Chains A and B, each alone.
Chain A
Amino acid sequence: MNASNPKTFLFKIIVVFSMILLNTFILMDAFVLTQSYQTVDPIDGSTTTSTSDPVITSDSYQDANIAIKIETVNENGIVYYVVDIQLTSAEYLKTAFADNTFGKNITETTSSMATSNKAILAINGDYYGFRDNGIIIRNGVLYRDVARSAPDDQALLIGLDGGFSLVTENSVSGTSLIAQGVLQSFSFGPVLVNDGVIQSCTTNFVSSKANPRTAIGMIAPLHYLIVVVDGRSSSSTGMSLEQLAQVFIDRGATIAYNMDGGGSSTLWFNGKVINNPTDGHTNGERRVSDIIYIGA
């Protein structure tokens, strides 16, 4: 192509300009432009009343329906937090969207969402709002019925009985899951543990690298484990997914599922952030699109 030819030069300019415009638009759509699809009424905690005054310490919570115990572990240069949760009903395990809105790129800090929803304990969720796909059911309502591409399409489900199960998104529909009584679905992954066995983490989830992590698992219905790992800092390197899965296995989990990690990993309990969220460059909480929380 001869640059001295005005037609060729004009063609090149048009192509380059089109590319710049398209790239800007696509990246803005993916990361910046917010889109509100549905406003959600916050769950009214007053419908699930506790029958006793809670006993709260710096690392535990206990009332008639909810028992939470947080263990901080510091070993081999890794700091992580293991939360043991026992509930009397699955209705105490809830989720919330940033700004109480289901949409894209709508974000809020975990602590802000936890506070506004009167949570006892909260972690960041699957950051559903960063993607256009993935089946999303929250608090018994279907918000998105678009499966992710195989093979990275294993979703975690929480049923009415509080039991965890796994499903391949392309093999089901959101409406059928709702009909089966699914209360929550999480679309991230990968699956860390299934049937008490560590799953091979071969997909593109930074599996072998040490990173901050957030994951949730089940020992038995209504008996859960949450593990949040600090990383990308001098005090804690983080964990690989295999290491994370081993933590769940060591504590008797039958199912465990990886949530959004990295700078998103946040553990909030009784009014304060327990872990040290960082993306490796800046410290502090990252704004995310959703949380999982325990609330009365």
Chain B
Amino acid sequence: MKKMILKTMLISLGLEGLTRFYGLFAHGVTSIAMESMPLVAIGGGVILLILLKMIPADAPYMGWFKRSFITALAFLINDLFIEGVLTIAGGTSSYAVILLSISAMFWLISAGIYSFILIRKPMPDKKNAEV
């Protein structure tokens, strides 16, 4: 758990550094999308931690849930970065939405896996329940 918190903090700091570094070449143009990257990383990390606390650590498909959640978050942050680059340059690309679509797809997958894990939570002991 500590490792995950540390990773989230480091990634957020890295993204903040990237935003500031990019800003050096932006002649004062700012992008809300790019500036929100560190917050999204922290927010995503916090949500993931809360979700993991609510299910058993050895739950089946836990690995796939984490993978899909982190992938969704990564594509979302990637989309924010690209949107930021385009905004600062004053350009557009109709293909930028692909990143957001992939992110949405992985959010759905992670939500599905998480729901499955919740449904399959171990039930109370059957013998004790009968007694």
Chain A residues close to B by CB (< 8 Å): 1-2, 5, 8, 11, 15, 18-19, 22-23, 25-27, 29-31, 127, 130-133, 204-206, 208-209, 211, 232, 260, 262, 280
Q: Write the nearest CB–CB distance from B22 to chain A, whole angstroms.
A: 13
Distance A22 CA – B74 CA, assembled complex (angstroms): 13
Whether B90 lies near A260 (C-beta < 8 A) is yes
Q: Write the nearest CB–CB distance from B51 to chain A, whole angstroms.
A: 15
Q: With A8-B63, A130-B90, A130-B91 known to touch, is A26 a contact of B28 (CB < 8 Å)?
A: no
Distance A262 CA – B94 CA, assembled complex (angstroms): 24
The proximity string for B residues 83-105 relative to A, scoring 1 for CB distances below 8 Å and 0 otherwise, is: 00111011111111011001000
Q: Write the nearest CB–CB distance from B24 to chain A, whole angstroms.
A: 11
A residues in contact with B63, CB < 8 Å: 1-2, 5, 8
Whether A209 lies near B98 (C-beta < 8 A) is no
Interface residues of B: mostly helix, strand, loop or mixed?
helix
B82 closest partner in A (C-beta): A26
Q: With A22-B98, A209-B28, A280-B27 known to touch, is A130 a contact of B89 (CB < 8 Å)?
A: yes
Whether A127 lies near B90 (C-beta < 8 A) is yes
Whether B67 lies near A11 (C-beta < 8 A) is yes
Since A1-B67, A204-B31, A260-B90 are in contact, a sample of 18 more A-B pairs with Cβ atoms closer than 8 Å, ordered by chain A residue number, is A8-B67, A11-B67, A15-B74, A19-B74, A19-B75, A26-B98, A27-B85, A27-B93, A29-B95, A31-B89, A31-B91, A130-B89, A130-B90, A132-B92, A132-B94, A204-B29, A211-B28, A262-B27
A279 closest partner in B (C-beta): B27
B residues in contact with A260, CB < 8 Å: 90
10 closest cross-chain pairs (CB), A and B: A209-B28, A30-B93, A131-B92, A130-B91, A30-B91, A206-B28, A29-B93, A132-B92, A26-B93, A206-B29
B residues in contact with A206, CB < 8 Å: 27-29
Q: Write the nearest CB–CB distance from A40 to chain B, whole angstroms.
A: 22
Whether A22 lies near B91 (C-beta < 8 A) is no
Distance A287 CA – B85 CA, assembled complex (angstroms): 20
Number of B residues with CB within 8 Å of any CB on chain A:
29
Whether A204 lies near B87 (C-beta < 8 A) is yes
B residues in contact with A204, CB < 8 Å: 29-32, 87
A148 closest partner in B (C-beta): B92
Interface residue B78 (Cβ < 8 Å from any Cβ of A)? yes
Q: Write the nearest CB–CB distance from A175 to chain B, whole angstroms.
A: 22
Q: With A127-B90, A206-B28, A232-B27 known to touch, is A26 a contact of B71 (CB < 8 Å)?
A: no
A residues in contact with B85, CB < 8 Å: 27
A14 closest partner in B (C-beta): B71
A residues in contact with B29, CB < 8 Å: 204-206
Q: Write the nearest CB–CB distance from A101 to chain B, whole angstroms.
A: 18
Q: With A206-B27, A211-B28 known to touch, is A25 a contact of B95 (CB < 8 Å)?
A: yes
Whether B31 lies near A27 (C-beta < 8 A) is no
B residues in contact with A208, CB < 8 Å: 28
Whether B82 lies near A23 (C-beta < 8 A) is yes
A residues in contact with B98, CB < 8 Å: 22, 26
A residues in contact with B78, CB < 8 Å: 19, 22-23
B residues in contact with A232, CB < 8 Å: 27
Distance A181 CA – B74 CA, assembled complex (angstroms): 49
> Could you name 7 residue pairs across A and B whose Cβ atoms are closer than 8 Å?
A22-B78, A22-B98, A23-B82, A26-B95, A26-B96, A30-B86, A132-B94
B106 closest partner in A (C-beta): A15
Distance A31 CA – B74 CA, assembled complex (angstroms): 23
Partner of A1, one of B70, B75, B90, B102: B70
Partner of B66, one of A1, A27, A133, A280: A1
Whether A26 lies near B99 (C-beta < 8 A) is yes
A residues in contact with B94, CB < 8 Å: 29, 132
Distance A131 CA – B89 CA, assembled complex (angstroms): 10
Q: Write the nearest CB–CB distance from A149 to chain B, whole angstroms.
A: 10
Q: Write the nearest CB–CB distance from B127 to chain A, whole angstroms.
A: 35
The proximity string for B residues 53-90 relative to A, scoring 1 for CB distances below 8 Å and 0 otherwise, is: 00000000001001100110011001000100111011
